[in-house]
Structure 1
Amino acid sequence: MWSGPRNISTAMMRAWENRSDTVVVDEPFYAAYLARTPGSRGDHPGRDDVLASQPTDPAEVVAALAAPLPSGVEVQYVKHMTHHLLPEDDLAWARPLRNVLLIRTPDEVVASYLRSREVCEPEDIGILQQERLLDELGEMPIVDAADFLRDPESYLRWLCDWLGIAFTDQMLSWPAGPRESDGVWAPHWYDAVWASTGFDPYHPRGVHLDARGESVVEAVLPAYERMYAQRLVLR
C-alpha cells in the first residue's frame, strides 16, 4: 500500500494487522530515506532513533521484504510512504507484487503536514512519487481516502477479493494502543491511531493555506487529478 503522509495509512495498517493470517511492515524505507536526505527535509522527529532502527541501504530493505514469511502467515502487508522513494531508486523489485495507491486530496494533506512541519515541498507529500509508481509499475487499484472512509467495508471486501483472500470483519475494528509492529517514530505521529478502535467516519475538512501551501498544491494537483480520475469507485 503506497501512501503519502497525513493519510489514513496507519489506520489501514491496523485493519490488516488485525487479520490472524497477516503480518505488517511499517514504513521500511524510512531510515534509507533519512540517510540520503540532507538538510531540513531530512530533519524529522526522532531521526536518530529511526536511523538506528532500520537498514539505511535500500537493497537491504528490499531483501528483508522478500524474506520467507513466518509460519502460519499468508499475507504480508507493507505500509509504504511514497515520499521515501528517491528519483534514483529502482522499482523493479515491486513489479511482481500486488500494489495499491492510497491517495488523499492534496490541500488536506498539505494543511495537515504544515501543522507538524514548518516547511513543505511538493516532494514531501508523496503525490508525485505515486504518479511515478503508476507510470513505472503499470495499472493498479487507486483508493481515495475520502471514498474509503465513506464505506470501509466495501473497499476492504473489494481488496480482499482482488487479492484472492477472504474478508473478515476483524478488519473493521481493532484494540486501541501501540503495537510492537509500529515504527520507533510512532510516539511522534501515531497519537490519533493509538486512541482509535476503527476508521473514523468521513467528514470534509475546512482548509486554509498560505501562498506557500497553495503553491505546493498547484505543483502536485495534475498528478492527483490524474490518479483520482482512475480511482476505484464502488457503487
Structure 2
Amino acid sequence: MKNNNNKNHHIAMWVVPRSRSTAITRAFEQLEECVIYDEPLYGAYFVNVNADYHLLEERILKIWQDNLSKYPETNYDKIIQKATGKLPDGKSISFQKNMSYFMLPKFGRNWLKSMKNLFLIRDPKETIVSSWKNYRLVNQEWRLIFYGVGWEQHYSLFRDIEALTGSMPLVIDSTDLVKKPREYLEALCFELGIDFSEKMLNWSSNPDNSNLNWGNTVYASYYENILNSTGFFYEDKKSAIPEEFPNELRPYINSSLAFYEEMSKYRMILE
C-alpha cells in the first residue's frame, strides 16, 4: 500500500446529482482500507439554507427529515474535523462523496488544501433528465430541482480549489469511466496515490452494510439501481431523452452545458 504510513489520506470527490457518483463510490467501498463518507456536508448545508425548515409543508418536511436522519451532524466545523481528521482503526483512506452545491459561499475552504480533490462530470442532458425523473418518483415538484442542478456551483468550486491549491484538480467524465472502468480506475488510483484493486470492479448487490444504503427513506429509489448492481455498466442515454421531456428543463441544460464543456477540457483522457 502506497500510503501505509499516512493515516490522513483523504479523498474528496465533488459531484453534481446523477453523475454516477454512487457507482464510483461503490468501487472505492470495496477497498478494505477505505472508509466512505457519503455526502457529509448535507446537514450543515441544510440548516444554513432552510433556517425555518420546521415551517415547510408536511410533505416537503418529511423529505428533509428523512435526510437529516441520515446526516444528523449539522455543525460545519465538526463535519470538517471528521473529514480531515484521524481515520478509524484499520483504515488508511477516506473517500468522501460531496455535492458541490453543498459548499455554500459562507463555508471556509482552507481544509480543501489537505484533500485529494476529484471532480466528476457527466453530460448535463443526462444528469438533469435523470434528476427530473427521480424527482417525479418521489412526487417532488419540478421547481425543487433548481437546488439539485448544481453545475454553476460545480464549476465555481473547481476554480476555487485550483486557486487555493495552485494546481488543477483531477477531472473524470463518468461516461469515460464506465466504458473503460479498469483503465480509468487504475489511472485514477495512481493519481490519488493509492493502490488499485480488482475488487473495485465488482461488488455484491443489495448490501446490508453499505454506507450508501438509504433504507426506507424517501430517497431510497435514487439508489435502488446501483445498490442492486454488481459492477459498472454503460448504457447510451443521449438518444433516449423522453418525449415528455418538459421545455422547462431546457434552460437548465443549456446553461449547464457551458460549465460541463469547460471542465471537460481538463478531464482525464486515456487512449
What secondary structure, in the 3-state scheme, does the structure 2 residue paired with 1:211 have?
Answer: coil
Partner of 1:182: 212
Amino acid of the structure 1 residue aligned with 2:142: V
Q: In structure 2, what is the Cα distance between the partners aligned to 1:229 and 1:51?
A: 36
Q: In structure 2, what is the Cα distance between the partners aligned to 1:223 and 1:122?
A: 16
Superimposed CA distance per residue, residues 155-211 of structure 1 (whole angstroms, 9 cap, x where no aligned partner): 110111112222111000011113341264562421111210101124233224322
Q: CA, structure 1 residues 183+57, in 2 after alignment: closer, same or farther (shift >3 Å)?
A: farther
1:146 is the counterpart of 2:175? yes
Partner of 1:212: 248
1:15 is the counterpart of 2:27? yes
Q: Give the aligned length.
A: 234
Q: In structure 1, what is the Cα distance between the partners aligned to 2:152 and 2:158?
A: 10
TM-score when normalising by structure 1: 0.90
Q: CA, structure 1 residues 183+83, in 2 after alignment: closer, same or farther (shift >3 Å)?
A: farther
1:4 is the counterpart of 2:10? no
Q: CA deviation at 1:108?
A: 0.9
Q: In the alignment, which of 54, 65, 74 is matched to residue 56 of structure 1?
A: 74
Partner of 2:10: none
Spell out the pairing of 1:17-56 with structure 2 (5 A cutoff).
17-38=29-50, 43=60, 46-52=63-69, 53-56=71-74
State whether residues 122 and 219 of structure 1, in contact with CA within 8 Å, keep that contact through their aligned partners in structure 2.
no
Q: CA deviation at 1:110?
A: 1.1
State whether residues 126 and 237 of structure 2, in contact with CA within 8 Å, keep that contact through their aligned partners in structure 1.
no
Amino acid of the structure 1 residue aligned with 2:96: V
Q: In structure 2, what is the Cα distance between the partners aligned to 1:213 and 1:50?
A: 25
Q: In structure 2, what is the Cα distance between the partners aligned to 1:173 and 1:183?
A: 17
Q: CA deviation at 1:33?
A: 2.0
Superimposed CA distance per residue, residues 127-164 of structure 1 (whole angstroms, 9 cap, x where no aligned partner): 21221122111111111111111101111101111122
Amino acid of the structure 2 residue aligned with 1:124: G
Q: In structure 2, what is the Cα distance between the partners aligned to 1:153 and 1:45?
A: 40
Q: In structure 1, what is the Cα distance between the partners aligned to 2:61 and 2:97?
A: 18
Q: In structure 1, what is the Cα distance between the partners aligned to 2:109 and 2:68?
A: 22
What secondary structure, in the 3-state scheme, does the structure 2 residue paired with 1:214 have?
Answer: helix
Q: In structure 2, what is the Cα distance between the partners aligned to 1:37 and 1:223?
A: 24
Q: In structure 1, what is the Cα distance between the partners aligned to 2:61 and 2:230?
A: 27
Q: CA deviation at 1:122?
A: 5.2
Q: CA deviation at 1:85?
A: 2.2
Superposition RMSD on alpha carbons, in Å? 2.2
What secondary structure, in the 3-state scheme, does the structure 1 residue paired with 2:131 have?
Answer: helix
State whether residues 213 and 227 of structure 2, in contact with CA within 8 Å, keep that contact through their aligned partners in structure 1.
no
Structure 1 unmatched runs, 5+: none
State whether residues 25 and 76 of structure 1, in contact with CA within 8 Å, keep that contact through their aligned partners in structure 2.
yes
TM-score when normalising by structure 2: 0.79
State whether residues 14 and 98 of structure 2, in contact with CA within 8 Å, keep that contact through their aligned partners in structure 1.
yes
Spell out the pairing of 1:1-235 with structure 2 (5 A cutoff).
1-38=13-50, 43=60, 46-52=63-69, 53-117=71-135, 118-119=141-142, 123-138=147-162, 139-178=168-207, 179-182=209-212, 184=214, 185=217, 187-205=220-238, 206-208=240-242, 209-235=245-271
State whether residues 202 and 231 of structure 2, in contact with CA within 8 Å, keep that contact through their aligned partners in structure 1.
yes
Q: In structure 2, what is the Cα distance between the partners aligned to 1:19 and 1:58?
A: 28
State whether residues 175 and 234 of structure 2, in contact with CA within 8 Å, keep that contact through their aligned partners in structure 1.
no
221-230 or 119-128, larger mean C-alpha shift: 119-128
State whether residues 26 and 183 of structure 1, in contact with CA within 8 Å, keep that contact through their aligned partners in structure 2.
no
